């Protein structure tokens, strides 16, 4: 079983839709969680850290469920510019990031 698993997608959604991605992790000792966004042939860019209490940044909401060992990302009012691959990242409180393979999102006009 992979340490971090994501549905690869693609998720094709119309502009304005709400879309949610989940990511499961296998190591219960994991402490820090992040969502990164990666555009085609570009570097990953930090979207948001995920805190135990959940956090929101504009149209983006991240949640952590430690009991079920998953994190989620919700995107409201999708824009064309949200089209990208969303990477789930987990670590055990150290520098070593474990990346998921990403979920592809395509927002359609």
Partner 1 sequence: NAGVMQNPRHLVRRRGQEARLRCSPMKGHSHVYWYRQLPEEGLKFMVYLQKENIIDESGMPKERFSAEFPKEGPSILRIQQVVRGDSAAYFCASSPRASGAADSYEQYFGPGTRLTVT
Stretch that binds partner 1, among 18-26, 27-35, 62-70, 75-83 (CB under 8 A): 27-35
Answer whether 23's CB lies under 8 Å from 6's CB. Answer: yes
Closest approach, Cβ 79 to partner 1, in A, equals: 23
- Does 91 interact with partner 1 (rule: CB under 8 A)? yes
Distance of CA 6 to the CA centre of its chain: 9
- Does 70 interact with partner 1 (rule: CB under 8 A)? no
- Does 34 interact with partner 1 (rule: CB under 8 A)? yes
| Structure letter (DSSP) for residue 17 | -
Stretch that binds partner 1, among 15-23, 53-61, 75-83, 100-108 (CB under 8 A): 100-108
Residue 76: cis peptide before it, omega within 30 degrees of 0: no
Cβ-proximal residues to 36 (8 Å cutoff; 6+ apart), any chain: 44, 45, 46, 47, 86, 87, 89, 99
- Could you list the residues that contact partner 1 (CB under 8 A)? 4, 31-32, 34, 41-46, 49, 51, 87, 91, 93-102
């Amino acid at each position: 079983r992979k340490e971090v698993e994501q549905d690869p997608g693609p998720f094709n959604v119309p502009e304005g839709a709400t879309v949610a991605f989940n990511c499961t992790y296998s190591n219960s000792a994991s402490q820090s969680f992040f969502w990164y966004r990666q555009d085609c042939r570009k570097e990953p860019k930090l979207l948001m850290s995920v805190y135990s209490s959940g956090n929101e940044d504009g149209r983006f909401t991240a949640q952590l469920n430690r009991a079920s060992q998953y994190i989620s990302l919700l995107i409201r009012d999708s824009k064309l510019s949200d089209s990208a691959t969303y990477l789930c990242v987990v670590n055990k409180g150290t520098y070593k990031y474990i990346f998921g393979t990403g979920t592809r999102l395509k927002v359609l006009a």
